């Protein structure tokens, strides 16, 4: 067994691990990343690729999302990776949805959101992918953008290696950590800081800490169309009325209770499976559709056809595109705490576990990484505006 060293050792090459590698390497640290699979296969390649600050609750989390967004853009430009900078639309078909959005838009400037109300005509002028029948208007925000997660997660390690000399060890599970040492593959490493970004793996490293943390898992069903015809662009990524009851940003609206009540009475099946609907577009032009939310430590390995049917039923009410036939179906799992937006633990001196940005890990990843580096003393406090 050979013995090697780095300033920062990172477990996991999902987006949180890569964001930590980027921020640490940019600060001049020598960084090594271990990923147990031949390539990232977790939540980070199974998502919509939405960088979505509009969903974050006002205050610290929204600020972190905005800071994370800036770091994302910096990284994408430096790595010459493409993204879709088209903003977001929450499209609305019911008067109670309009009421929530108008209330939100009125409070938005004071809360730090840059967004606005669009009437029916202005909404249709913004996107040709929206069903006009019954449309009342939309919440427009240009803060959001979309990456193709499979493309970014595959390309980012090569950029970090070339640009900053980050060392990657794929197909290399980290088996044990006793700081400053860790055992990975056939090597023993030591590092000043060890950062564990193991996603929903609660069993391999520090199982006692994970068990005591209150973290659980969330399973999401997803679908993807075939690539749309060349030249057809989604434009802004789409959400709709069900999303207003899902993202905590909208909890400031007193009119939300009535919306929740109506959905619970009229379509309890959406609440039963935690369904809301988002639409994004991948690099090859396909549309990613989803999703549902089933919480619990034990993940059902089978997808439920009923959930896919409900997601499609709702999505077809607001989305129009040349080809809505489904080419791919899958599910993703993320770690989630019932109350806390993120969980950070220090099981040993020199070890930091960064877990559970839940359904917002793409959005928050670079902001969380910067916060880690400030708290570890790798970056000065004023480097992070969080």
Ligand X SMILES: Cc1cc2nc3c(=O)[nH]c(=O)nc-3n(C[C@H](O)[C@H](O)[C@H](O)COP(=O)(O)OP(=O)(O)OC[C@H]3O[C@@H](n4cnc5c(N)ncnc54)[C@H](O)[C@@H]3O)c2cc1C
Count of residues touching ligand X (by CB under 6 A): 44
- Contact between 64 and ligand X (CB under 6 A)? no
Q: How far is the CB of 279 from ligand X (least distance, A)?
A: 11
- Contact between 205 and ligand X (CB under 6 A)? yes
Listed in sequence order, the DSSP H helices in 114-171 are 120-126, 149-164
Q: Which of 97, 148, 201, 370 binds ligand X (CB under 6 A)?
A: 201
Pairwise CA distance, residues 311 & 303, whole Å = 13
Residues within window 281-320 making contact with ligand X, judged by CB under 6 A = 290-291
- Contact between 11 and ligand X (CB under 6 A)? yes
Q: How far is the CB of 109 from ligand X (least distance, A)?
A: 24
- Contact between 53 and ligand X (CB under 6 A)? no
Pairwise CA distance, residues 347 & 369, whole Å = 18
φ, ψ dihedrals at 167, nearest 5°: -95, 130
Is 227 within 8 Å of 79 (Cβ atoms)? no
**Any idea what DSSP says for residue 105?**
H
Pairwise CA distance, residues 107 & 260, whole Å = 20
Is 329 within 8 Å of 221 (Cβ atoms)? yes
- Cis before 227 (ω within 30): no
**Residues in contact with ligand X, shown as a per-residue x/- string from 157 to 196 under the rule CB under 6 A:** ----------------xx----------------------
Six-digit token string for 303: 């997808």
Q: Which of 23, 71, 222, 373 binds ligand X (CB under 6 A)?
A: 222
Q: Which is nearer to ligand X, 109 or 214 (CB)?
A: 214
Q: How far is the CB of 118 from ligand X (least distance, A)?
A: 22
- Contact between 57 and ligand X (CB under 6 A)? no
- Contact between 236 and ligand X (CB under 6 A)? no
Q: Is 309 exposed, middle or buried (0-12, 13-18, 19+ CB in 10 A)?
A: exposed
- Contact between 199 and ligand X (CB under 6 A)? yes
Pairwise CA distance, residues 132 & 62, whole Å = 31
φ, ψ dihedrals at 79, nearest 5°: -90, 0
- Contact between 209 and ligand X (CB under 6 A)? no
Q: Which of 40, 105, 240, 368 binds ligand X (CB under 6 A)?
A: 40
| Residue closest to ligand X when measured from CB atoms | 361
Rg (CA), the chain: 21
- Contact between 204 and ligand X (CB under 6 A)? yes
Binding-site ranges for ligand X (CB under 6 A): 11-17, 34-37, 40-44, 46-50, 52, 173-174, 197-201, 204-205, 220, 222, 290-291, 332-334, 357, 359-363
């Amino acid at each position: 067994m050979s013995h090697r060293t780095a300033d920062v050792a990172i477990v996991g090459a999902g987006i949180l691990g890569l964001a930590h590698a980027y921020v640490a390497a940019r600060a001049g640290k020598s960084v090594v990343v271990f990923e147990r699979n031949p390539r990232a296969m977790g939540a980070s390649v199974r998502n919509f690729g939405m960088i979505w600050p509009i969903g974050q609750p006002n205050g610290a989390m929204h600020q972190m999302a905005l800071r994370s967004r800036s770091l994302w853009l910096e990284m994408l430009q430096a790595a010459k990776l493409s993204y879709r900078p088209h903003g977001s639309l929450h499209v609305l078909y019911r008067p109670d949805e309009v009421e929530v959005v108008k209330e939100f838009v009125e409070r938005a400037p004071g809360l730090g959101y840059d967004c606005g109300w669009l009437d029916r005509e202005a909404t249709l002028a913004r996107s040709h992918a929206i069903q006009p029948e019954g449309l009342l208007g939309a919440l427009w925000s240009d803060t959001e953008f979309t990456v193709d997660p499979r493309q970014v997660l595959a390309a980012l390690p090569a950029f970090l290696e070339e640009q900053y000399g980050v060392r990657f060890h794929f197909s290399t599970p980290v088996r044990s950590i006793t700081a400053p040492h860790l055992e990975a593959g056939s090597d023993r490493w030591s590092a000043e800081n060890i950062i564990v970004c193991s996603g929903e793996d609660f069993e391999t490293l520090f199982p006692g800490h994970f068990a005591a943390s209150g973290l659980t898992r969330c399973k999401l069903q997803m679908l993807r169309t075939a690539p749309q015809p060349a030249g057809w662009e989604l434009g802004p990524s789409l959400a709709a009325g069900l999303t207003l009851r899902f993202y905590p940003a909208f909890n400031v609206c007193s009119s939300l209770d009535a919306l929740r009540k109506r959905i619970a009475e009229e379509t309890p099946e959406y609440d039963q499976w935690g369904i809301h609907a988002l639409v994004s577009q991948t690099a090859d032009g396909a549309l990613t559709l989803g999703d549902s939310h089933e919480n619990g430590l034990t993940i059902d390995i089978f997808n439920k056809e009923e959930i896919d049917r409900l997601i499609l039923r709702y999505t077809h009410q607001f989305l129009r595109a040349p080809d809505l036939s489904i080419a791919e179906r899958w599910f993703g799992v993320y770690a989630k705490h019932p109350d806390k937006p993120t969980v950070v633990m220090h099981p040993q001196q020199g070890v930091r576990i960064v877990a559970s940005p839940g359904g917002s890990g793409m959005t928050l990843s670079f902001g969380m990484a910067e916060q880690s580096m400030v708290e570890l003393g790798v970056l000065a406090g004023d480097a992070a505006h969080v």
